[in-house]
Chains A and B, each alone.
Chain A
């Protein structure tokens, strides 16, 4: 069974909410989940021990199956050649029993190996995925490196399964079989055993090592060609409308064909290497049998001995020959495992202090002082000395052109990115702390909301909301949905309807409102809203902003927006441009001053309908 494991039963996965209902402070829909991972650590090593036992078991079953195969042929060969010498029947009885026993047990062992091997592999894959996920939990500088990168990372976790089922277990079985065959050979004639050993080493060690090296070299050449083709195809598919509208289809198709042809040339050459390795295996097997017969005959071994030697060496190659293909696979597997290790080794974007300060609670004051934030090693910082103070119950709006640093400021407030210099301090009723002294999880328990690029999970509408409030009852959910102007849509869609892959069945506006409902449901101490009205049509956006300003009344809120209408209701407006605060004040003050805000307001109100 070389295919990947057959699909499982049709049970519903416990998407998003499979876990035990959380226990924790119910007040803010937040929980302190850190303990779970800590208590799990010893459990993990116990699991690994159990996994080791299962692995040994699977390896043993595989080896036993192969040994039974060798035993079957060796016993049969002995039986037949010995019988030709006309001994008494009793001399053959052991061989007859052995033939029958090996014939029966071989299949049983194989069955056991397959089952236990797949079980071990699936467990290993599950734990690899979990470890990868846990490594990804802390914010990383490059987690937004494209959906394709994430998909590949997820695919890479399959490598562990392949490593066990297709490489490691077969190699163990082949090794045990080889040792057994050489031992049988040595009992008959040590010289013949040496020939056998040489052949097995060539076919079982050198060839796989060669195919592994060749595959590594080839995949290094094929990967860019493959990526090129994928990019061309993606252009054709995702850009279909653009290409058709601009009559550029033919050339894009030709480019894809060219990329396909370049890939095909490489693949053909690779298949030649592959074929040569397989042919070499067959050749070595044949030569070894020849050599064994030649050596045995010239050493004067009797007919029975020669037959046993010849057939044993012939059959001992059966588990060994597939190792060449396994070696080829190893190149991909090691590359995948290396990529996973690199992901796990990448340092998180923020440094979690060894002993996090205890976070202040109660209504929070947030003071941002001279904050400088830089993305990677870009020459221009995204935020260049920004200061602002958010007082409990007050609302600040952040406006400015795209790329001004608005979202970066929110990321810094959520501790998704560490500042280069400057400071964010939060003060509660029970003391104060610098953000950099706090556990990022503790920060986001208090300062969060509607972030950029909200995601819709493949889960029901209800579960998609409840991830921000696992304890919320239906009434709370409905209130959040109403406040986010989503009630009608939810009614039409149904609370238990599963939202599609990538949230495709959710339009941009609905997605935005869903995210807003989540933020309202979570109800953090400091509410962050990143462009809540983005991609909504004018009427809905106006309605939403007005609902939103009502809903956030009296809440500590930082609102990033590009629409100025309604901002007369917020307490302060901060205008960012190129990472610096260029204007600040109330709506009226800013309108009175010449500058960005006034320009923007004019262009908006000049064209406004009312």
Chain B
């Protein structure tokens, strides 16, 4: 579809989406009223800047049903974020919304070369997490044979992959890498499996990691993007060009804004990605701030698709880290330290070793905590690591260090060092 035609379609859909939200979501209506914007002021995409933004805080505040735009009885499904940062965000779907989402995932599978001849092994988690259900539904829409594996149990993953001749693998990039290593350890060569492509997302990964996975599994590895708030995975996906992710912009309108001022930025400039759903029923979100820092491009893609492309997220506009697919905030680690009787003097170091994220936490010991045996200090480190694991869901390596040994700049300590090179 030519770009102008897409814009006309988006304008048409946006006007009715805004009307739908204004009429059915009192929370957003009051945001619009405060800004003095009426639904009739939005006559097309050119007017989108008049609409107020939504943030994760808004979704938390309206938990669980404050953003619902249809009668609950019209909904057929919910999905949820992991809730590690506090209250979970719940997304609700009508059958139309589920179909729309699965359609987006189906496009991602087709872009990766999938068809009804393929066997799609889905080892994203199934359940509240959107990864499993999204790709599962997308695979059904394509008509591929779907293996609903969910995550974990790598031996079984490998057995089914080989026995059932899976051709497309869907999981997090770190799990793909792990499966690849496990295959190698079991004596399989990359050409022994039947895979041709992988669709990997839900966590940041580098080009280097892509090359490693491609080599390990003998496949082409495709990136996929999405967030629970917008539906789930499939909002954007890579094509054979592997050069940016095409946004399904007939369903989601993307903007890039300056995270500090909220001002829209032109294509090619780096800023915070903002999504507006165009035809969702149950959980339509207007100008939702993703906090992901990206660049958009409308340059012609060699695959022929005209949909705008987004870069891999280059960072977060807040301090959230995504480690092994889990959202981590420094404040969560700080809370554990205080609870365990440590001073909040710490340094978080995130790195990637052998394609797996590492999390090291350096914590200053208090004089009264010091003990004269290595065993005693090791036991304290282990206990603290356990408490952090309980909070985050992922385990760190804790290093207890001497007081005042963590560098402070202008009196305030640097809390996070992220050594992962995500944009090479």
B is a partner of A: no
Q: Which residues of B contact A (CB under 8 A)?
A: none
Q: Which residues of A contact B (CB under 8 A)?
A: none
